[in-house]
Structure 1
Amino acid sequence: MKIAFLGAGSVEFTQGLLTDLFGFPELRERSDLEIALHDINPDRLETAEAAARYIAAEKGAGGALKITTHLERRPALDGADFVINIIQVGMIDATRTDFEIPARHGLRQTIGDTLGVGGIFRALRTFPVLDGIGRDIAELCPDAWLLNYTNPMAMNVWYLAAATPVKNVVGLCHSVHWTMHDLAQLVGVPLEEVSYLAAGVNHQAWVLRFERAGESLYPLLDEAIERDPGLLRRVRVDMYRRLGVYPTESSEHSAEYVPWYLHSDQEIERLRLPVGAYIGISEENVRRYEATRDALRAGRPIAVEATMEYAPQIIHSIVTGTPRVVYGNVVNRGLIGNLPAGSVVEVPCAVDALGVRPTAVPDLPPQCAALNRAYVAVNELTVRAAVEGRPEYIRHAMMADPNTAASLTVEAIAELCDDMVRAHGDLLPEPLRSRS
């Protein structure tokens, strides 16, 4: 069994996923297990290999385990059964561009990896690489499951489904799991006693049911908020109190997907919004990578901590037939009736030896569907810009984006679009490199 990691130089993510994978005896003890690590950066690839070997030893992976490294993608994919995609095109320099140019135009962002100007351009510079990945998988491992972690999740999965020949793809994100983990703590109920149903779009799904033994836990959540007024200074709590349904992503993320908060100094102060936070997060990620690299080179120990990510659970379920339910991002083919067909939605998925099978859910509450449809509109225009080679759709996507539209005039949006196209240059699909 071969598991390929694309973007393995994202060492912290690779560490967690390998720790989870090797935590399953049925996987770590296989005599045919190969971990194929691919990255285009030799330094990061060397560090990823050292981390993989360290974690394998710590977790007692079998002596037959094969770890291979590849600066070229195709050998890593050749014969793979599972492909885990964790690439980041442009790395921290592109992230700085995603924040600094919009900020000069007066646009505030917090994370910028899912929607908005940052999300749009992160998608557009990722799509050309996804083209190559899709073609290579179709040729070298057509039955493999592509497990995508790369953001913007919904746009990338939509593009993979619409523009590449990949057959089996699901986008994975931990936001639903950790939201329910945190909500269970907030209401004082053990997570294993909680039953829940969430659905929507990635980073803007909704907790439709939150129960213990068939009784709603939402009243306990209301009581917790009443006891702690400080919770009212969180965007997701503010949204919950106004919409009646709890969102499944952090306040920093959630603030960017609606038109209500980031254009206002008063709301930024009231809700303690960390404008530009992702630049600092990215810089910290670089420092962590360097610390891991230096520790491995010096023979010092590194962290080996389980992460509860979905990809290892999916691999385990498909290989062993163990049934599970995970949350996945998949094409909406009758899964959520009041969101557009063909868009990418986040829903519960059954997993076993037959693969990943999305589950249809009831229609979302109309107020939630309305917000999701605005999100989907930005996704659609961004994907269509690349698929159809229509640069004007980039500007249209920015015009449709809730936070951008609430913050800038339409002429300012056009000027910002031109500046971003120039700045990202050759990373964009070739037909989109001219101004719209």
Structure 2
Amino acid sequence: MSFKIAIIGAGSVGFTKKLFTDILCVPEFKDIEFALTDVSEHNLAMIKAILDRIVEANRLPTRVTATTNRREALEGARYIISCVRVGGLEAYADDIRIPLKYGIDQCVGDTICAGGILYGQRNIPVILDFCKDIREVAATGAKFLNYANPMAMNTWAAIEYGKVDTVGLCHGVQHGAEQIAEVLGAKSPKELDYVCSGINHQTWFIELRLNGRPIGKDELVAAFEAHPVYSKQEKLRIDVLKRFGVYSTESNGHLSEYLPWYRKRPEEITRWIDMSDWIHGETGGYLRYSTETRNWFETEYPQFLEAASKPIDPAKRSNEHASHILEALETNRVYRGHFNVKNDGVITNLPQDAIIESPGFVDRFGINMAAGITLPEACAATCMASINVQRMSVHAAIAGDIDLLKLAVLHDPLVGAVSTPEEVWQMVDEMVVAQAQWLPQYADAIPAAKERLSKSKVKTREWAGAARRSVRSIEELRAEKAALKQAG
């Protein structure tokens, strides 16, 4: 087979390498072309050198090109994969820093909440530019695979306004299933069968079977509470399981910021999170991790390049959906996964226009969703709160409507639990002004926002959050890595 895959945001070096090696685990794909594009020439050069080394080491005919000209990369592409972060870590830092001034403590801030909503405002105009290029220069019927957060908002915009065949992809379901299999004592995650459905980052394991045996709430709660690690790291997630009756796919830290109950007061935050790793609820945890990862990669790049000389091992193919979807579409080897698509009747008790995440099967005929799923009422209610925020956020981003943007933030579950309307109005003004360079749709609204800020009397505070850690230096990371290696 010979076709072209374009990767937008290919400067996400580690993730691009994973996608690349996964795809090349499919024997029929050795003769394809990868077209890498990114706004950073520096990152592009690094990832291209790594991928070229992989191709050379494995003696493959695979072609790799790299360009900052996105339209050139997309020309003739059958598949387009996006893993962009618009505004980079600079804008992301404001997504965490500014809401903290108003008492809003986020762990990740990339899905909803104040940070995720502003992230969507930065991404959506760019997503629509991608879609325009795809319609005009990509192969007829090209498929857009979106890995970028905020998943639901980006996918919603691409489908509804970009008019491109789009699917959103995430690995939360797989990771949640691996946890459940482990606590139940399975020898392999493959022993666990499940139906998992909802919206991205709020997906629910509504049916579980271990080697064909149904698993109920009580057994699952007991298994998690008995686990020596997860009982400490996933306290909030286990509490939701007890109350809702089903387990959520999302990590302790992620889930905590989508709900109005656990991060509303500093003492509550420290009660429900675990500081053994950022993903369990640390304030700004993913921002810290991302910053350290970037610094580490820049410093240790020669080692990453050397590691690229190893043969590709199909046994180590990851459970990221992209390679499996492409394999099913091109070879007709059927793949079952969980995909982000427009609802259209897939989940009976969520809105038709919402972007849902639910089981589907892929073959030559495309992605075929399993329809007619009904969520437990509490799960549907929690998803609905986020869907309403996502819908308003998408519409605000398309129209450049700052008033609708403020209403979207006001209706966010965690923001509403912490902040007053006056605080929300000022916080949004402050975030839009701080991020103006990435928000072209709000250009006309910026002067008035600045004027309001100059006269505002809403008090703020400089607050690091309830559980903030400093970014570790390269030396500290090396020392910790050495200590772990010695202990292991």
Q: TM-score range by the shorter chain?
A: over 0.9
Alignment pair present for 1:235 and 2:236: yes
Q: Which is further off, 215-224 or 325-334?
A: 215-224
Alignment pair present for 1:42 and 2:41: yes
1:173 alignment partner in structure 2: 170
1:246 alignment partner in structure 2: 247
Could you give the per-residue CA deviations for residues 106-151 of structure 1, whole angstroms, max 9, x where no partner exists? Answer: 2111000001111101110011111110000001124111100000
Instruction: Choose the corresponding residue for 2:147, options 146, 149, 154.
Output: 149
Q: CA deviation at 1:61?
A: 5.4
SS in 1 for 2:117: helix
Contact 1:172-1:310 within 8 A present in 2 as well: yes
Q: CA deviation at 1:104?
A: 1.6
Instruction: Choose the corresponding residue for 2:284, options 272, 276, 296.
Output: 276
2:11 alignment partner in structure 1: 9
Q: CA deviation at 1:331?
A: 0.6
Q: CA deviation at 1:226?
A: 4.2
2:303 alignment partner in structure 1: 295
Rounded to whole Å, the distance in 2 between the matches of 1:208 and 1:134 is 34
Contact 2:9-2:82 within 8 A present in 1 as well: yes
| 1:136 counterpart letter in structure 2 | D
SS in 1 for 2:435: helix
Rounded to whole Å, the distance in 1 between the matches of 2:246 and 2:14 is 33
2:473 alignment partner in structure 1: none
| 1:245 counterpart letter in structure 2 | V
Structure 1: 5+ residue stretches without partners:
none
Alignment pair present for 1:321 and 2:332: yes
Alignment pair present for 1:55 and 2:57: no
Alignment pair present for 1:76 and 2:109: no
Q: CA deviation at 1:171?
A: 0.2
Could you give the per-residue CA deviations for residues 232-264 of structure 1, whole angstroms, max 9, x where no partner exists? Answer: 652211111111110011011000100001112
Rounded to whole Å, the distance in 2 between the matches of 1:315 and 1:392 is 41
Rounded to whole Å, the distance in 2 between the matches of 1:302 and 1:285 is 22
Change (3 A) 1:413 1:92: same
Q: Which is further off, 218-227 or 419-428?
A: 218-227
Could you give the per-residue CA deviations for residues 301-358 of structure 1, whole angstroms, max 9, x where no partner exists? Answer: 5787643210011111111111011111001111111111111000112101122222
Q: CA deviation at 1:161?
A: 1.2
SS in 1 for 2:326: helix
Rounded to whole Å, the distance in 2 between the matches of 1:292 and 1:312 is 27
Alignment of 1:280-359 (within 5 A): 280-291=288-299, 293-295=301-303, 306-359=317-370
SS in 2 for 1:169: strand
Rounded to whole Å, the distance in 2 between the matches of 1:392 and 1:256 is 23
Alignment of 1:213-224 (within 5 A): 213-218=211-216, 219-224=218-223
Contact 2:33-2:64 within 8 A present in 1 as well: yes
Q: CA deviation at 1:296?
A: 5.7
**Number of paired residues?**
429
Alignment of 1:71-220 (within 5 A): 71-141=68-138, 142-166=140-164, 168-189=165-186, 190-218=188-216, 219-220=218-219
Rounded to whole Å, the distance in 2 between the matches of 1:159 and 1:6 is 17
Contact 2:196-2:203 within 8 A present in 1 as well: yes
1:380 alignment partner in structure 2: 391
Q: CA deviation at 1:182?
A: 1.3
Contact 2:120-2:397 within 8 A present in 1 as well: no
SS in 2 for 1:173: coil
2:478 alignment partner in structure 1: none
| TM-score normalised over the length of structure 2 | 0.84
Contact 1:390-1:432 within 8 A present in 2 as well: no
Rounded to whole Å, the distance in 2 between the matches of 1:291 and 1:271 is 35
Rounded to whole Å, the distance in 2 between the matches of 1:432 and 1:404 is 25
Rounded to whole Å, the distance in 2 between the matches of 1:240 and 1:253 is 15
Q: Which is further off, 307-316 or 251-260?
A: 307-316
Structure 2: 5+ residue stretches without partners:
274-280, 450-488
Q: CA deviation at 1:214?
A: 3.6
Q: Which is further off, 153-162 or 226-235?
A: 226-235
| 1:27 counterpart letter in structure 2 | F
SS in 2 for 1:257: coil
SS in 1 for 2:257: helix
Rounded to whole Å, the distance in 2 between the matches of 1:355 and 1:57 is 33
Rounded to whole Å, the distance in 2 between the matches of 1:8 and 1:301 is 16
2:374 alignment partner in structure 1: 363
Q: CA deviation at 1:361?
A: 3.8
Q: CA deviation at 1:275?
A: 1.3
SS in 2 for 1:150: coil
**RMSD of the TM alignment (CA)?**
1.9
